[in-house]
Amino acid sequence: MKTTLSIAGMHCASCANTITKALKKTKGVTDANVNFAMKKATIEHDDAATEEQLIKAVTDTGYQAMPDAMTGMKHDMPRGTSHQGMQMPAGHEGMSPSEHLHHQESEKLTRRLVVSAIFAIPALIIAMLFMDDGLLFTGIELPYAPWILLLLATPVQFYAAFDFYKGTWIALKNKSANMDSLIVVGTLAAYFYSVYALFTGGQQYFEIAAILITFVLLGKVLEARATSKTNAAIRTLMELAPKQATVLRGKREVKISVDEVQQGDLLLVRPGEKIPVDGVITSGESSIDESMVTGESLPVDKKKGDTVIGATINKNGTLTIKATKVGTDTTLAHIIRLIQDAQGRKAPIERFADTISSFFVPAVIVIAVLTFITWMLLGSAFSFALIAAVLVLVIACPCALGLATPTAIMVGTGKGAQIGILIKGGDILETTHKVRHILFDKTGTITKGTPDVTDVVPIADLTEKELLRITASIEHASEHPIAQAIVRKAKGMTLAKISGFKATSGKGVEASIGKKHYHIGNRAQLNTTLGEVEPKMRALEEQGKTVVVLAHGKTVLGLVAVADTVKETSREAIEELKKLGMTVHMITGDNEHTAKAIAGQVGIESVFANVLPEHKAEKVKELQQQGSVAMIGDGINDAPALAQADVGIAMGSGTDVAMETGDIVLMKNDLRDIPRAIALSRATMAKVKQNMFWALFYNTLGIPIAAGVLYPFTGWLLSPLIAGAAMALSSVSVVTNSLLLRYKKI
Ligand code: ADP
Ligand code: MG
């Protein structure tokens, strides 16, 4: 079972570690993952752990948790009642409780920042300009300046910094220390030392503590703002969900909330309206804008019998549709869930950041102590050495490092979703950029998968019509695209009754009509060799057609050839992939001649033909010896290969099994989205690496400045300012860099 919780109160990456540990210790939990950037916990567990127990495990550590709004839409919004029992301030309707929680939290943070700035800035001005030891002393000395500073610093220290105390307390309760603890220990030391100095006549540092707290808060506010933008893609998708539907009850039209639509309801959709849920058109025709779901910008013409997707826009005709999928089963709900799961999955590279973060607190304490000792040994005043150590403690928060991967991945997966490429996890973006071999399934992937009968060739003594009728009668029982083509061709004919039908995957079918038993399929399906029919069959195959044979015992009765057209964009896609440095292969259950002919049309040299479904995965394994493999397929028979490949790419038009198994789903069924997916993964990983560089860069820069390397040149007030600014900037620059990915052309 999987549960997603929305978490509030996390300040830094180390908070996420604390919660993860607590969740993992809870009975029944097999795995837990807390995403600091998304403020979400994804928990794998069995029946032994209920949602309430998981929430309790989080609240026990001191953070807030609630069922996640997006995955558990129904939990948050009981049918018909909106946010029952939740107190929603005016103006925030339409926000889910968990969004509301984060909203409240960010408002609180902003309030604390404002208060902090209102007191800290005057304190800084006084200390710099109106005290005789100030950096830019004006010559005018403010009477009682130290006391005024005490008054200004106190609300900053105890009101604005309140959350840091809370965080420290949580850490203490969990017998650990976190970034909050560093800030608290550091600023309290500066504050109380200054109070002591006030009475004994030493140097005071009130304004340093105050200004540092302000910087830390500023960094957090900017970070929260930017982080909430990284998830814009999902929010856009959620906002797409239609709110109302017009249901037909007999002759009456009734407007109801989309939540209340039941499977089987007949719904009326007027031009310009959104299709409320997934369904089938029962009357009317129209062109439909599906771009929001498939990324395909051209509207699609649809008529009676065609399926429609909820949230797409009906352009010009009035339609009646029968609801087939409602609530959390709709395509849109499914896509949203997919992306969320994806964003909750950690990319391996993120573990690197986590490892660094977990060593950080102890390392920073060691550096702070060393700083203190060094300055004392160099003969500086106790107060000076203390302040340098304090600065190290406060500046060192590696928040930016914790944000480096998740923000880039959120933007990357979100961007993918917008252009119709569903990527199921951060880990997948990471594996995709390493892919070297691309293995395509033929039918339904390179080709359209809706073949048509081109030739009906009787061999023995029977008419074309009779050959088609027997074949169609038997194929009627099969789901295979070839079978469907044959049945379509035989439309209008009276089909015969069959018995003893049996399908052999990758080979063909067999059944009896009356007393006669027939085999239909490829060479492997037959009990006989083809003899003089072979050259005829081969000639058709070399034209790229798939030929099935109808045989009765050892007698070959005839051939039926079907041709499947190559998708218009397949060739271009394969060319682009080659340009990206990929080796491209094709794999198919079809025979070698047909396979080679099709491969030739799209520019693939390496072909594996006659591969039985159960052997496709083995072929993938073989290729993996030579490098990372992406397998692209659409059918149930491709699923094992999709699973075996480093990256499984499924077509959106494919079977549900393929889409469940695939790591990436191409909603537009356009193979050109594969080079795009690769480009997107490369761009995202580049961002992750840049982010990590910047995060580490700012920290390695900030810590020595804080420790006092620049004191001899800048004086004691400027250094904390520079170090504080570097720290606030680090998170912001990382998140901004991730956001830039949104504007990159893929
Ligand atoms: P692919 O890998 O191209 O999707 P399959 O593994 O489904 O192909 O099928 C491989 C071959 O088996 C087909 O090309 C066809 O010759 C034969 N075959 C499979 N099912 C049928 C069927 N229902 N009727 C006739 N031939 C079939
Ligand atoms: Mg296929």
**To test the ligand 1 pocket, which listed residue (447, 507, 519, 594) has its Cβ within 8 A of the most ligand atoms?**
507
| pLDDT of 78 above 70 | no
Closest Cα to atom 13 of ligand 1: 590
Closest listed residue to residue 247, CA positions, set 328, 321, 326: 321
- Most informative mutation of 443, 604, 634 for ligand 1 (most atoms within 8 A of CB): 443
| Partners of 44 in beta bridges | 2, 31
Nearest CA to ligand 1 atom 19: 508
**Of 121-135, 416-430, 716-730, minimum mean pLDDT range:** 716-730
More confident residue, 516 or 634: 516
pTM of the complete model = 0.76
HEC string of 113-148 equals HHHHHHHHHHHHHHHHHCCCCCCCCCCCCCCCHHHH
Q: Which ligand is nearest to the CA of 639?
A: 2
pLDDT tens digits, residue range 699-714?
A: 888 888 888 888 777 6
Which ligand lies nearest the alpha carbon of 551?
A: 1
Partner residues linked to 288 by β-bridges: 300, 314
* Band of residue 150 on the pLDDT scale cut at 50, 70, 90: very high
pLDDT for residue 87 is more than 60: no
Q: Which protein residue's CA is at the shortest distance from atom 16 of ligand 1?
A: 522
Residue 410 identity:
M
Closest residue CA from atom 9 of ligand 1: 506
DSSP 8-state code for residue 721: H
Question: Is pLDDT at 421 greater than 80 in this prediction?
Answer: yes
Q: What share of the chain is helix, strand, coil (3-state, %, to 5)?
A: 55, 20, 30
Mean predicted confidence (pLDDT) in 391-397:
79
Measured in Å, residue 637 CA sits from the centre of ligand 2 at: 7
- Helices and strands, counts by H and E, the chain: 26, 26
The whole-number pLDDT of residue 319 equals 94
Ligand 2 center from residue 325 Cα (angstroms)? 25
The per-residue pLDDT for 606 is 96
The preferred substitution site among 439, 480, 509 for testing ligand 1, maximizing ligand atoms within 8 Å of CB, is 480
Q: Is the pLDDT of residue 511 over 90?
A: yes
pLDDT tier at 684, thresholds 50, 70, 90 = very high
pLDDT at 94: 53
CA distances from 638 to 370, 507, 634, 643 (A): 60, 15, 7, 9
525 band by pLDDT with thresholds 50, 70 and 90: very high
Average pLDDT over residues 489-499: 94
Q: For residue 440, is pLDDT > 70?
A: yes
Closest CA to 707 of 355, 250, 387, 232: 387
Mean of all residue pLDDT scores within the chain: 86
State the pLDDT confidence band at 161, using cuts at 50, 70 and 90.
Answer: very high
Residue 474, pLDDT score: 96
Q: What is the pLDDT of residue 471?
A: 97
Ligand with the closest atom to the CA of 485: 1
The best mutation among 538, 548, 642 to test binding of ligand 1, ranked by most ligand atoms within 8 Å of the C-beta, falls on 548
Q: Respond yes or no: is residue 180 known to be catalytic.
A: no
Q: How confident is the model at residue 397 (pLDDT cuts 50, 70, 90)?
A: low
Q: Say what percent of the chain tops pLDDT 90.
A: 47
Q: What local confidence, expressed as pLDDT, does residue 148 receive?
A: 94
Question: Minimum-distance ligand to the CA of 505?
Answer: 1
SS3 of 619-663: HHHHHHCCCCEEEEECCHHHHHHHHHCCEEEEECCCCHHHHHHCC
Residue with token string 């991945």: 409
The sheet with strand 244-249 has its strands ordered as 252-257, 244-249, 266-269, 319-325, 278-283, 307-308
Q: State the distance from the centre of ligand 2 to the C-alpha of 448, rounded, in angstroms.
A: 10
Cβ neighbours of residue 460 closer than 8 Å, sequence gap 6 or more: 555, 556, 557, 558
161-to-389, 444, 456, 725 alpha-carbon distances in Å = 19, 60, 82, 18
Instruction: State in Å: Cα 597 to ligand 1 middle.
Output: 16
CA torsion angle for 295, 296, 298, 299 (degrees, to 10)? -80
Catalytic, out of 163, 180, 441, 564: 441
Mutational pocket test of ligand 1: of 443, 482, 541, 604, the residue with most ligand atoms within 8 Å of the beta carbon: 482
CA of residue 509 to ligand 1 center, whole Å: 9
Atom of ligand 1 nearest to the CA of 520: 25
What's the pLDDT tens digit per position in 300-339?
A: 899 999 999 998 999 999 999 999 999 888 888 887 777 7
Which residue shows structure tokens 């779901």? Answer: 293
The residue whose CA has the least distance to atom 8 of ligand 1 is 589
Q: Give the closest residue (by CA) to ligand 1 atom 18.
A: 508
Question: What is the per-residue burial (b if ≥16 Cβ within 10 Å, else e) of 268-307?
Answer: bbeeebbbbbbbebeebebbbbbbbbbbbeebbebeeebe
**Residue-level pLDDT at 634:** 86
- Residues 152, 119: contact at Cβ < 8 Å? yes
Cβ–Cβ < 8 Å for 123, 146: no
**Phi/psi of residue 664, nearest 5 degrees:** -130, 140
Ligand closest to 655 (CA) is 2
CA 292 to chain centroid, in Å, comes to: 16
pLDDT surpasses 70 at 98: no
Question: Which amino acid residue places its CA nearest to atom 14 of ligand 1?
Answer: 590
User: Which protein residues are within 6 Å of ligand 1, measured from CB?
Assistant: 441-443, 475, 478, 480, 482-483, 506-509, 520-522, 546, 548, 588-590, 613, 635, 637
Mean pLDDT, rounded, for 463-474? 96
- CA–CA separation, 209 vs 157, rounded Å? 7
Higher per-residue confidence, 479 vs 509: 509
The first and second tokens of residue 32, run together, are 């837990």
Sign of CA dihedral 496, 500, 505, 508: negative
Tell how far the Cα of 438 is from the centroid of ligand 1, in angstroms. 22
**CA 479 to ligand 1 centroid distance, Å:** 10
Question: What's the 365 CA to ligand 1 centre distance in angstroms?
Answer: 67
Report which protein residue has its CA nearest ligand 1's atom 22.
508
Quick one: pLDDT band at residue 403, thresholds 50, 70, 90?
confident
Distance 611 CA to ligand 1 centre (A): 10
Q: Indicate which residue's Cα is closest to atom 21 of ligand 1.
A: 508
Task: State residue 716's pLDDT score.
Answer: 62
User: How many A from CA of 460 to the centre of ligand 1?
Assistant: 23
Long-range contacts of 715-722 (CB under 8 A, 24+ apart): 715/135, 716/384, 716/387, 717/127, 717/128, 717/134, 717/135, 717/207, 717/208, 718/135, 719/391, 720/208, 720/211, 720/212, 720/387, 720/391, 721/211
Q: Which ligand is nearest to the CA of 506?
A: 1
CA of residue 680 to ligand 2 center, whole Å: 26
Residues with CB under 5 A from ligand 2 (ion): 441, 443-444, 634-635
pLDDT at 721 over 80: no
